Amino acid sequence: MDQRTLRYEQLADELAGMIAERILRPGDRLPSVRCLARDKKLSVSTVVQALRQLEDRGQVEARPQSGFFVRLPSLNQNPQLVPQTRQHLARPVAVDISSRLMRVLALNNRKEMVPLGAALPAAELLPVANLQRLYGAVGKRFGALIDEASHSALNRTDLVRQFVRHSISWGQPIAADEIVVTNSCTESLSLCLRAVTRPGDTVAVESPSYYLMLQLLELLGLKAIEIPTHPRNGMSVDALEIATRERRIAACLLVSNFNNPLGSLVPDYEKKRLADLMAARQIPIIEDDIFGNLHFGTDRPWPVKSFDTAGNVMLCSSMSKTLSPSLRLGYVAAGRFHGAVLMQKTLTSGITNPVTQEVVARYLESTAYDRHLRGLRRAYEKQVMQMSEAVLRYFPAGTRLSQPQGGFVLWVELPAGIDSAVLLEHAVSAGIAFVPGDLFSASGNYRNCLRLNCGNPWSARFEEAVKCLGSLAANVATFGK
C-alpha cells in the first residue's frame, strides 16, 4: 500500500468516524473538497478518492454542483416503490378517498394540533409584509381594476410576462399565448383534466400520488391507473409505456420535479422519453410543477414541458408554496390545449383576481423575489433534514425515509405491520396531525407509510411531536392496535 492510498483511507476513516459519532449527521453537507485539501494538507485528488470511498460504502452521496452530504437511509430497496415488471402493472380503479381525506386534512386546521399533515409553508417564511405593501401600491395605481370585469380577458399582461421571463432558463421557455392564469395549481389541474377527459376515462398517475390529484379524478368520475414510481427517479417511463400500449389512457398526470410525497426528481433523459412517448401516442401530459423552484441543488430542474415539441404538455403551477397559499393564484401553460382550457376557465370561474395578478407581477419583477427564493430553499432543505434526523432517532428500528431533492415533504415507511391509519387515531389523541400513506393511492396501498410536512421552522415543539409519534408507532407495532 503506497503512502497516497494510506492517506485517502485515513481521511475516509476519519470522516466515517465523525458520521458514526453523529458529529456529522444525516443530511449534513461535508466540507468542500478544497477546504478538506487545505485543512488536511492533502491533494485534491486524494480528498476526492476518500469521498468516493465513503460514497461506495453508502455513507455519503454526491449532489451535482452542491457537494457531498451524509446519506440518509433510503427507500430505494423497497420493492413496493421500485419500478415493477409488466405482470405487476395495476388495473384502472375508481377513486374513493375524498370523504376520508377531508376529515384528515381538517385535523391540521385545529389550533391544538402539531401540523405535520397538510403541506403548507409557515407564514414566517413568506414575504407577507412585502405583499401587503404591494397591495396598497397597486390599489392606488390601478384603482380601476376593482371596477373591471371581463369574460374573455382573463390574464394581466404584466403577470404573463413575468411567468415567461422566469421560464427562460428552462431551455424551452413557455409561450405567452399558451398561458391561462388560474386561482390555484389545483384549479389548473382540474381545468386540464376537464379539457381532455370525459367521465369513465382512465388517467395514469404516479404511485404514490398526491392525494388532491386523486381527489380530482374522483370528483370528475375518472379512473386511475397507478404507475410504479421510484423514490429518487420518479415515474417509471418503461411501466408507463407498457400501460399505454395495453389500454386506452386519456391523460398522464404527474409531478416530475419533486413528487409529492416522495420528493423524487425525474432525470432529464427520462423527461425527454416521457414527452416523446406521450406525444407519439397522442396522450396529453398534465404536469404539476408547483415545487420546481424549491430545489436543494444549485440549478432549477427543467420540467417535462421543456422537452415537449408537440404542444402536448400542460404545465401547471402556483405561488402557494413560494409566496402564499392565500394569494389563490396559479397558471397553466396549456400548449395545444390552450383553447379548451381557456373555455373551461371562462365557464367555471372566470377571471382570477386582477389586483392579485398585478401584485404578484410586481413582486416577480423585483430582485426581492430571487433573494426570497434562495432563502426559502435553504430553509426548506434544513427543515427536511431536521425532520429526517428526528424520525431516524425516534421511530422504530427498520423505519426508512425518502431523500427529497426539493420541496418540503417527507415520506416515511414504517416497519411492516404498522398501519398508519391506526397510528393516526392515536396521534390525534396526542395532538399530532399527519397524512396516512393509503390516501396517496387509489388502490389503498402504502398502509405502513405516512407523509410529514416539513414546512415549519424546527422547534422543540416539533421535536417532541416526532418523538411522541415514534413512541406511538412502536406501541402500535407491539400491540397491533
The pLDDT value recorded for residue 479 is: 65
pLDDT digits (tens, 9 = 90+) for 67-113: 888 886 655 444 444 333 333 567 888 888 888 888 888 887 788 89
pTM of the model: 0.84
The pLDDT value recorded for residue 90 is: 72
The pLDDT value recorded for residue 147 is: 65
Domains and CATH numbers, the chain: 3-70 (1.10.10.10), 104-124+373-479 (3.90.1150.10), 127-369 (3.40.640.10)
How far apart, in whole angstroms, are the C-alpha atoms of residue 350 and residue 300? 32
Query: Phi, psi (5° rounding) for residue 93?
Result: -135, 150
How far apart, in whole angstroms, are the C-alpha atoms of residue 291 and residue 121? 12
The pLDDT value recorded for residue 480 is: 60
The residue behind cell 389512457 is 249
CB 347 within 8 A of CB 195: no
CB 330 within 8 A of CB 316: yes
The helix (run of H) or strand (run of E) holding residue 100 is: helix 98-108
The helix (run of H) or strand (run of E) holding residue 426 is: helix 420-429
Amino acid letter, residue 375: G
How far apart, in whole angstroms, are the C-alpha atoms of residue 234 and residue 232? 6
pLDDT digits (tens, 9 = 90+) for 277-313: 999 999 999 999 999 999 998 899 999 999 999 999 9
Mean pLDDT, 10 residues at a time, over the chain (481 residues)? 67 87 79 88 88 85 80 54 44 84 84 91 95 91 69 86 94 93 97 98 96 96 95 93 94 97 95 97 98 93 97 98 96 98 94 93 95 95 93 92 93 93 94 95 93 96 96 83 51
How far apart, in whole angstroms, are the C-alpha atoms of residue 355 and residue 81? 44
The pLDDT value recorded for residue 162 is: 96
How far apart, in whole angstroms, are the C-alpha atoms of residue 39 and residue 32? 11
Closest CA to 206 of 281, 269, 257, 272: 257
Query: Phi, psi (5° rounding) for residue 228?
Result: -50, 135
How far apart, in whole angstroms, are the C-alpha atoms of residue 59 and residue 73? 9
